[in-house]
Structure formats: C-alpha cells, structure tokens
Structure 1
Amino acid sequence: MTHFIVIGAGQAGASLVAQLRKQGFEGEITLIGSEPVVPYQRPPLSKAYLLGEMEMERLFLRPESFYADNNITLKLGQEVRNIDPEAKTVTLADEVLHYDQLALTTGSTPRRIPAAIGGDLDGVYVLRDLADVDAMAPVVTDGARTLIVGGGYIGLEAAAVCAKRGVAVTLVEMADRILQRVAAPETSDYFRTLHSNHGVNIREGIGLERLEGVDGAVKRAVLSDGSTVEVDFVIVGVGIAPATGLAESAGLTLDNGIKADARGRTSDPAIWAAGDCASFPYRNARIRLESVPNAIDQAEVAARNMLGADETYVAKPWFWSDQYDVKLQIAGLNTGYDNVVTRAGNDGTMSFWYYAGDQLVAVDAMNDPRAYMVAKRLIEAGRTADKTLVANPDADLKPLLRA
C-alpha cells in the first residue's frame, strides 16, 4: 500500500494529513511529531493559555479521535534520526519506516541566548511550545520581575501578558526601535506608547551583555550600557530559525529554509515541504512566511500536489498579534515600501498603509477590521488605494473595492 509520511506535527503537518484524507487518499499516512501531544495551536500559548484563560484541550487543532477515525498513524514524542532519500526510509529510535512520498513540516526553532553569557541558567525561557509555557507559567505572578530580550511581536506579546499578570517588565531591544525589522516607525511608536501606558519599561538601542545567577538560577541582567536589572525570570524573544537539520542531512537544497518550488516540492521529487521551514517563490523573489495561514494554505496545496494536482501555491500574506485590548491585523508584505499613510479613526482605531510609490503593498490595522479587510482584498487583487481617501477617517473605504 502507498505510504505517505509527514515529519512535523504542528499546524502545517496536521493540515497536510487532513487534506490528504479530504482529497480521498486511501493509502497509509504516518504523522511524526517530537512533542508528546496531538497537534495544537501555538498562537494562544503565550496569550490565553499562559493567562490561564484556555484549557490545554482547547489548544488541540483536532481531537485525538480524528486521527484514529481517519486512519492516520500518530507517532508522537519521537525524534527522526535520519532520512535516506535513496532508500526512501525514515529512521526513528526503534524502527525504520519506508515511504513513497515524504513531507517535511518541521517548523522552526527559537533562537536562544548562548550559555556563555548565562543562557543556560534556570529561569531563562523561550516561548515556542507547550512545554516552554508550562515551565514558565508558575513564575509569571504578581510582583515578579522579568527582563524580555527582543522587541519583535514575540517579545511584545510576552510583555503584554506579563504586565497583565502584575509582573514588573523591562524589555530591551538592540535595534534603534522595537519592531524595526517588521514594521514602520509609526507602528513602532503606537506599540511603544501602548506598552508604556501599561507600565512596561522599554529600552531601545540596548542589548544584553550577560545574565548572572545564584545557585544556577538567573538573578540579574547586565545590559550593554552597563546598567543592571534584577530579575526573577527572563524571556527570550529574538526570533526563530527554520528547522532544516533533517533536510540538510538528507542532502536537500536549502535557501532560507528548505527550498521548495511553487508546488511545494523540494530538490528531491519525492519530498515536499510546507510551513515555517519552507521557502518558496513569491512575486519574483523567494520568501519564507512564519504564519498560521501560510502553514495551512501551503500544506494543503502540497497535499493536493502529492496526489497529482499540479497546483501552484499563491501566498496571501496576513498575520495578527493580540496585545492588551488591541488586535493588530497585518495584510501584505511591506518589503520595498517608501511611504506610509496614517488613518486615525474617530473611534480610536488606527491603521498604517504602506505604499511603494503609489502602489499599496501592506497595512497594519489596530482594532480596525474594516480597514484591514479592504486593504487585504486590494493587495491580493494587485490594486491600490487613493492616499487622500485613506487618510480621511470620515471617508468610507468600501467603495475602493468597487472602483
């Protein structure tokens, strides 16, 4: 019987195996994951779950019974030791599995602070998986003190949760401003003010020199300007890297992740890739998208192509972030923008529209789902929006969709 193996039991892996069955594939499916739990949502981990507002079962993408009902073999809590593309085998600790086609949905791994400067001390955490958050939850308590390293969305979301729990938060960002890599100065200013209003001490242009501990537990951070911060725990949010180790050892081509073509196929015709770990063609460039929508959509296209569909993946980049009572929705990619138009609603909503010349390329919308929806549809259609109309908070945006 034909056997498809999927390595990586996150959002992409779960979406891929479900799509295989939805498309009528009747062969064997094996989904291998390194964590001992069924595939689950990651975004709520550092928000609702850490706050105690969501039970673990509600994180699950599908109940465990779904996999049994659909004859999908789960191998959880297992590490893949080797992939042999010539023999078409996957080696686990105690067995060797043969595949006809293989999909890599291995996701990404968090960047960590080196042990040489204290990254291995107890009380230093990253926010990536269920075990990370379960380990951290007991120390995120009223009156505790934390240093958050990194002013991207991961760090800012962690700061918001900690502040809501009564933790004294200091956040350091080595770049000149928070969100510098991913957003315009206008968006940075908005979120700096938001966090400052909630008591977060944001220090930009300052890095971490080292962490110091007592009896193996972190107690102090020494910053690049020579100042110190007394801490009870540290959260590291300095980005993620695609998990490409298995692909590299199997001889697959890498290019900012596992290099996949527009259909999700890697340099080996029997191996596919999707999600955070995969780079793919996009508008005359090659990109890698770290988002839930991309993980789902790319994995489902790859699944259909594994069954012979010959379908091109057309990415529609969109992202979100929840901080305090603000929902940020992002559409498009702001790469190459040279001007930003601000739309400040009379009801407290805010959106920043990114343009390359006169062409709309992206939007950051804060508590403004209408602006987000309109901009997203325009960007996906390759259309633009009149800047004067966008800047006028009293102007209705919907006619832009009919223009």
Structure 2
Amino acid sequence: MICPKRTAELITLHLAPFKDTDPAWEIGVSKIAGRGIFTTRELKRGDIIFRDSPLLIGPSARAEDTLNSCSVCFKMLPDTKFMCRQGCGLPVCSLCGKKQQHKADCTLFKSWKPCEPDVANSLLIRLLCVGRAINLSKDQRDLVYCLQANLDNNHRTEVRNAAKGFHEFPTDKKLIEIMNRTVAVLRTNGFDETSDRSNDNQEFLYRALFPLFAIMNHDCIPNSYYTFEDKTRNMIVRASVDIPAGTEVTTTYTKLFTGNIARHLFLKMKKGFTCKCSRCSDSTEKGAFISALYCRDTNCTGLAVPETTGLPHPNWNCLVCKQKSTHAQMVKSQDFASGAISSKFNSKSLKSVVLYLRDKSSSFIPDSNYVVIDAKLQVIARLSKSREDCGDEEAASKAKFCEDLLEIMDKLGLGDCVMRTYLETEKAKEVK
C-alpha cells in the first residue's frame, strides 16, 4: 500500500488552487480497504467535505453518436467537418482549436501519425484521456501511481487496440507503461460515460480521474454524495447524513436501488472485492426488501429473501414459514413479473404501464422489489417530459411512485443524494 502521508502530500499539491486552509478531511488507513478519507471534524448533513478537480479528463467516445464531441470543451459539434484540420485525429471546435490544451494534444497525436486523421475513430479519441498522462508533471504522474489500479489481464488491451490507429505509435516501454497504468487506474477509480461510480440520476459524459475522490472506499449505504460544477467540471462532495469526527467518508460504486445479489456480483466481477457493509450483511437490506420475492408456498403470505452468502446463486429463505428455495426456483418468479412489466412497456402505452404497476404487479412481485423500482423510475422520467396517453388520474401516480421510492430510501438509511433531490422535485411538481 502506498504511504498515506505521501499520497496526502500529492493530493494537497493537486488541490492547491482551491486554497482550503482548514480541510474537513484527511487520508488514513481504512478498515474497509487500504487507505480512506476521514473527517477531521463533525459534519452536518449537506456540509461540503471537499472539492476535487479532474487530474485527467477526456472524451468518453463510447457511442458512435458522441464522437463529434469537442475533445476540450466536450460540446457537441455539427455532424460533419468536426475533425481537427491539423491532422491529429481529434474532434475539436474552432474556439478550442486555438487553446493550449488542444495544441498539446494535437502535437502528441500528430507525432504518432494517425492512419485516418479525418475519420473519427472511437478507440483513438478515447485514448486521449490516457495519452494526456504523458504530459503530466512528475508530481502529477506520481499521484496517478499512488492510486489503486487493478492490473488484470485486460488492462493493456485498450492501448494495444488504439495503437493500431497510428502509423508510428510509441514503442518506448516507459511511455507504454504510463498509459497502461493510467488505464488501470481509470478503470478502478475513474469516471466514464457508463461509469461504475454511481450517483443515481446524474449523467457524467466524460472520462475523468478525480484523485481525492478516487481514494474513497465503497459502502452500499454511503455517507456522502457528489455533484459536478457545469463550467469547471470540478466535483463537490457533501455529507449525505450527519458524520461524526474521525469517521471514514464513503461513496458507492453501485446503483442505490440494486439488490444484494446483483451488487455482490458487480463488485466482485468489476471491482474485485466482496462488500461486507451493513446492508450487504442484512438479507432484508435494512427492511427495504429490495431483493425480496413472495414465498413459493401459496398458503404463505411471507417474503423470501436471498441468503447473504455473497454467492451468485444463494438459497432463499421465507421470513414467515422458513421454507427454503433454490435460486433457480425464485428467479422463475422474478422473470415472470419482469416479463409482464416489460410487455407493458413494449405496448407503447404508458397508461397501461401505470395501471399495471398501480393495480396489478403487486399480485406477482412485492412493490419494494428492484424490478418494480426500476419500472417506476422509468414512468417518473417519462411523465416528467410528457403525459403521453395518460389522463389526470394516471399522471397523478407519479407523485405516489416518487413517495414510494423515497420511503424505500429512508428505510435503507440513505440521506441526501442526487436521486433524493430528483424524486422530491418530481413529486413536488404534481403536488402543486
């Protein structure tokens, strides 16, 4: 493990522009994993814990319809003639083309001689965030190396594949190592368009590394949340609940409404660890029953929940009659309910979805189950834009659905977050 003291020194240098003379955080040894961030004083719900700025940032370039995003300001450009005229193979707007950042990017990529500089190549554009690590200062590069990096068998693939888009990609082992290491750090602790870093309902359309935030450890019931400043792209991390002094500050790598089994599988496969937080250790998920299904015994009205073994296919136990069921048996019930809800969405009638969720689905699956939660979120999002074929009565269900989800968040012990603000805002629109 990298010395927390050295990491703190490099982080302090990185955050110097914020001129925070009395930080509310410090880096220390964590009981969760390696290093962590701890509060230096008592913080109230909503208090700012820290601000962070991206050490590295670049286009995500994951989808073909985003390749015309300026590589500096990230604004969407016209569908044609958005590539740099200097032949570097990067999309850039006329204003940013004159900025120092693009000049440095352009010089670097041109030196590698793109094979088709006039054609938007997603692998090449996506490499920009990684390539920018080459021009970091020594302290900045040391900071990258201080951050956690899961060096699996695939972390070299990105650079290797992108290299095929250049005629003279560097072969210097040191440069290749810098880029490969950066890829591993970004994959472990970075943000992306489809980011593992979850902050439900807030889009992040770039690829970026926020060093201080990257040190934060995971908890399925985090005590902090983050937002981004539009103009600067700086991050603001706030306390989602009251936090005593000396407490580790946590974030979540998973969606807030994801059930135990799915969270365990995601964290194991993508992050390489098994979470042992209070939520993961509780088969009822703090009484929120997000994973719960009805008992298979038709004479029982109880809920069945998966055992907290961390296995991908655990047994299920009914909380009332104590009947045990296999994972395969319970999945059939969930698949049936999920298929029924999906068929309503496929009907193109939002009204039929609302009526089904309001009056029918609870006969097959508990209202607390994440399948129903996801469906309600989709309805809320669609009704916030248009009523579609819904009348007043169906449209009014949006406020009830928001209330249902807020109640589940309260049971989980989730404090302030972007999702709570979103649901409270949408609910208030209907109440007025």
Q: TM-score range by the shorter chain?
A: under 0.3
**TM-score (norm: length of structure 2):** 0.25
The structure with the largest strand share of the pair is 1
**TM-score where L is the length of structure 1:** 0.26
Whose helix proportion is higher, 1 or 2? 2
Give the number of the structure whose alpha-carbon radius of gyration is greater: 2
